[in-house]
Each structure stands twice: as C-alpha cells, then as structure tokens.
Amino acid sequence: MSTTPVKVAVTGAAGQIGYSLLFRIASGALLGPDTPVELRLLEITPALKALEGVVMELDDCAFPTLAKVEIGDDPNVIFDGANVALLIGARPRTKGMERGDLLEANGAIFTVQGKALNDHAADDIRITVTGNPANTNALIAKSNAPDIPAERFSALTRLDHNRALAQLAKKTGTPVTELRKLTIWGNHSATQYPDIFHAEVAGKNAAEVVNDQNWLESDFIPTVQKRGAAIIEARGASSAASAAAATIDHTRDWLRGSADGDWLSMAVVSDGSYDVPEGLISSFPVTTKDGNWEIVQGLEINEFSRARIDASTTELGEERDAVTALNLLG
Ligand SMILES: NC(=O)c1ccc[n+]([C@@H]2O[C@H](COP(=O)([O-])OP(=O)(O)OC[C@H]3O[C@@H](n4cnc5c(N)ncnc54)[C@H](O)[C@@H]3O)[C@@H](O)[C@H]2O)c1
Ligand SMILES: O=C(O)C[C@H](O)C(=O)O
C-alpha cells in the first residue's frame, strides 16, 4: 500500500447520498485497495452532530484503506489540500419540482465552495458536482475558481448513463457488460438526451438491434429523463444509493481511465464540440485517462439527435442566464 493518503473532500456528508457514499470510498471503491484515503467531510453546523455519528460508524468498520477523517463546517478548512472534491451538499427537490427550481436555493453554496477550492485545494484537484442542478452548480463553482483549470470541474450524468444502460439491457435481454458507447447529452434534467444511435449491444449497433422507434421515443427516452422524479414519487425521497454509486463510477473512471473500446457520459466544459455552446457544462461522450478527459470526436449526429441535443443545451444556456442574473458567476 502506498503511504500518502489521497485527500477526498465530500460535502453534504451527513445527507442521504453521503451515508451510502462514504463507506464505499473508505473501503477502497473509489481509489482501489492499495491507496489510503483521508476523508474530509463538510456539513452545515446543525448537521455536524449527525456527522459525528457517521464518523463513529466509519471507525467501527475498521477499513484498512481509511487513514483519517476530518469533519467541519468551514470549506476553507475542509478543502485544504484536497485532491478530489465530491460536491453533494445541496437541497434535493421534492415532488412536483424540476431540478432547475433549485437554482436559487443551491446556487449560492457553489460560489462559496468554488472560491474555497480555488484558494485551498491541491494542485491536482478533480471536482465532481452531484448536488442539483448539477451542471449549472458546476458552472458556478468553476467560474468562482479562476485559478483551477476549467477541465477539472465536472457534473454527474453517470446516474442517467447507468439508468439508460439498465433500460437498454432489459429491452434487448443483454447483460450490461455487453453494452458499449451509450451517451447522455446535455443537462442532468428532463431535457437530457440518452442516445443509442452510436451504442453497441454485443458489438452490433443498438438502434438497429432495438429497431423500435416507438419504444425509443415513447418509453426509453422519457423513462431515463424522468427516472429521478419516478424515484421521488415512489420513495418519497430522491435517489441516494444509486446516486452514490454513480458518483463513485464517474470519479473512479475519471481518475483511473475508461475501458478500451468504450466511453462514458460526463458533464464537462464545452469547447464547442457538436455545436454545444462553448463554456457550458454539458454532458458528452468522453474517454478518460489518468485524471484527464477527452470528448469523443467525429460522431455523426442525425436530425433526431440534433433536435434533442439542442433542446437540452438551450436549457443550459437559460440556466446560465438565470445564475448570471442572480450574480452567482464569478
Ligand atoms: N446528479 C445526480 O445524479 C443526483 C442524484 C441524486 C441526488 N442529487 C442531488 O444531490 C443533492 C444531495 O442529495 P441528498 O439526497 O444527499 O440530500 P440530503 O438532504 O439528504 O443531504 C444533503 C446534505 O447537504 C448538506 N448541506 C446543505 N448545504 C450545505 C453546505 N453549504 N455545505 C455542506 N453541506 C451542506 C445538508 O445539511 C444535508 O446533510 C441534492 O441536490 C440532490 O438533488 C443529484
Ligand atoms: O431527480 C432528482 O431530483 C434527484 C436526482 O437528480 C436523480 O436524478 O435521481
């Protein structure tokens, strides 16, 4: 085992997602079994007592990879020296809300945290935003952290990607291990576009294998787009264990690399690829290696896909305008 622990900061650590996430990170699911981890956990002051209880449980697991745990309510302290930051702490939506309704309530959190990351995180920091509305919160954090390279900020669309894989596996009667090259485009919202036109099912083109436009339009796409709301409706609370699993998948694959012959969906800063306006944090097909990502280039986008990508990136532009008006961009 190497000796220097990797410092992983987690915000909203006493929340629902935190309760699933921390134990998996501590057990090596993020960085592997040979890398010690120091957890640096941020909460608001009233939640610190509950967080102490979670830390007692972490202690009681005696995880060999857990080197140290620090908790606190000051991002300037908790982000000090952080190599990885998982920004989860934010209010979840409740029944009847869209994620964009949280912009005003949650946006301000990400100005403060962006500045604190800028001033205190380690030079190799990688940031994953899970708290909603995730894409625009990542944009806010990025714009308040001018010294951190823009490509170090990302937002989570891996949960949508995993949901789409599960739906495609069910439809085609194929294990998820046989599925490749699925893409979530755009915003982590009801406008996101899960794209199977380049995906493969056991090496064959997924759209051709499915060969069912009605299922694609009336079942697959809306099911993935509205899955978060369906879970809130059924559970009375937003997804937590699956969101924690996706946060780990996203960040692990970013740090440790995507599989050969496949790609991932990550919301990252647009360089104008696929006509997504430059500067928006939008979901793309990406490959990753050693903590860097690259947008997959050269995919042919048909008319059906074009309209849906445009609808979602238009929404992202509107969210950017809204947070600009709220003075949240640095
Ligand atoms: N991107 C995704 O795929 C995805 C999936 C599921 C949930 N989410 C979002 O993740 C967020 C967290 O969900 P949850 O179910 O864990 O919610 P939760 O309410 O159970 O926990 C959120 C925690 O964040 C803390 N918090 C609030 N403000 C904070 C701040 N300024 N600094 C640090 N901590 C702060 C709260 O005290 C609370 O403990 C929500 O915004 C939810 O919508 C995103
Ligand atoms: O839908 C939500 O509000 C929670 C989360 O973003 C999800 O997709 O499950």
Q: pLDDT tens digit string along 238-282? A: 999 999 999 999 999 999 999 999 999 999 999 999 999 999 999
**How far is residue 8's CA from residue 125's CA, in Å, rounded to a whole number?**
9
Reported pTM: 0.98
Query: What are 285's two structure tokens?
Result: 């097909």
Cα 89 to ligand 1 centroid, rounded to whole Å: 4
Whether the pLDDT of residue 1 is over 80: the answer is: no
**Strand partners for 201:** 179, 204
182 and 210 in contact (C-beta within 8 Å)? no
Predicted ipTM beyond 0.95: yes
CATH of 158-319, one of 3.40.30.10, 3.40.50.1980, 3.90.110.10, 3.30.980.10: 3.90.110.10
Q: Supply the residue whose CA is at minimum distance from atom 33 of ligand 1.
A: 43
pLDDT for position 200: 98
Indicate if ligand 2 lies below 6 Å from the C-beta of 99: yes
Q: Assess whether 188 carries a catalytic annotation.
A: yes
Q: Which residue ranges make up the annotated binding site for NAD(+)?
A: 12-18, 106, 113, 130-132
Please give all residues whose beta carbon lies within 6 A of any atom in ligand 1, as ranges. 11-12, 14-18, 42-44, 47, 88-93, 109, 130-132, 134, 156, 159, 188, 238-240, 243
**How far is residue 18's CA from residue 243's CA, in Å, rounded to a whole number?**
10
Helical packing angle, 158-172 and 241-256, nearest 10°: 100
pLDDT for position 317: 98
Span 45-55, average pLDDT: 98
Domain boundaries, the chain: 6-155, 158-319
**How far is residue 244's CA from residue 247's CA, in Å, rounded to a whole number?**
5
Task: Tell me the per-residue pLDDT of 168-203, one tens digit each, with 9 for 90 and over.
Answer: 999 999 999 999 999 999 999 999 999 999 999 999
188 and 227 in contact (C-beta within 8 Å)? no
pLDDT for position 101: 86
Give the domain 6-155 fold.
Rossmann fold (3.40.50)
